[in-house]
Chain A
Amino acid sequence: DSGVTQTPKHLITATGQRVTLRCSPRSGDLSVYWYQQSLDQGLQFLIQYYNGEERAKGNILERFSAQQFPDLHSELNLSSLELGDSALYFCASSVRTGTEAFFGQGTRLTVV
């Protein structure tokens, strides 16, 4: 158990809909990262937050947004969903930026 909690574990939704993925980082970790893993592909970095502020952005679509709340949990919002958004979405946390990150079990999103 990495200490990073992601909910829900599975999500099935229709095209055009909006979903919110939630992440609770390990206790004491200030940095939260979101990654996307599509079928048979590597982990693509989406966005990083550190202590409530956005610190780095990857190839995150404009339809996607994220935030980190004062209690350090983070949410990833995906809107106007398309079939190609079906993927595993991982959240990771680290004590500070630039150190090893610990991953949650992921949310498997299926868009039908």
Chain B
Amino acid sequence: DQQVKQNSPSLSVQEGRISILNCDYTNSMFDYFLWYKKYPAEGPTFLISISSIKDKNEDGRFTVFLNKSAKHLSLHIVPSQPGDSAVYFCAASAWGETSGSRLTFGEGTQLTVNP
């Protein structure tokens, strides 16, 4: 049961344009959402997060939007740079007092920013 889905395995954009990465989730108990970036042979790097009480969070060139009714979030990168080329993972968590918490990851989207 894939609770977090990234339906686009790859995305290619031109340098300077906007990159939009999408993520859908099915578990309504998720209350915290994150985006990670991963380069080959490295561990995922935390990028930006958003709590379910918000619908937008911005950090420099990165903005995450959350639409709880649609169970959808997206990551916008503006402007895109060649160094942004990496695999982007969407993740979600639901904290439970007895079950603890885990990050449930999507399958990832390979972003390629062309010069």
Report the Cα distance A102→B49, complex, angstroms: 13
Which of B12-20, B40-48, B54-62, B68-76 is the contact stretch?
B40-48
Residues in A neighbouring B102, C-beta threshold 8 A: 33, 45, 48, 56, 58
How many A-B residue pairs lie within 8 Å, measured between CB atoms?
64
Chain B nearest CB, measured from A52 CB (Å) = 13
Point out which of B43, B95, B101, B107 has the most chain A C-beta atoms below 10 A from its C-beta. B43
Q: Check B105 against A98 for contact (C-beta < 8 Å).
A: no
Specify the chain B residue showing the minimal Cβ separation from A108.
Answer: B41
B residues 65-106 near A (Cβ < 8 Å) are 89, 93, 95, 99-106
B residues 17-46 near A (Cβ < 8 Å) are 32, 34, 36, 41-46
Q: Check B108 against A90 for contact (C-beta < 8 Å).
A: no
Known: A45-B102, A103-B45. A98 touches B89 (CB 8 A): no
Specify the chain A residue showing the minimal Cβ separation from B43.
Answer: A103
Report the Cα distance A48→B89, complex, angstroms: 19
Residues in A neighbouring B36, C-beta threshold 8 A: 103
Q: Check A100 against B108 for contact (C-beta < 8 Å).
A: no
Report the Cα distance A97→B32, complex, angstroms: 11
Interchain CB contact (< 8 A) of A45 among B49, B103, B107, B108? B103
Report the Cα distance A100→B59, complex, angstroms: 15
Residues in A neighbouring B34, C-beta threshold 8 A: 100
Residues in A neighbouring B32, C-beta threshold 8 A: 98-99
Q: Check A97 against B45 for contact (C-beta < 8 Å).
A: no
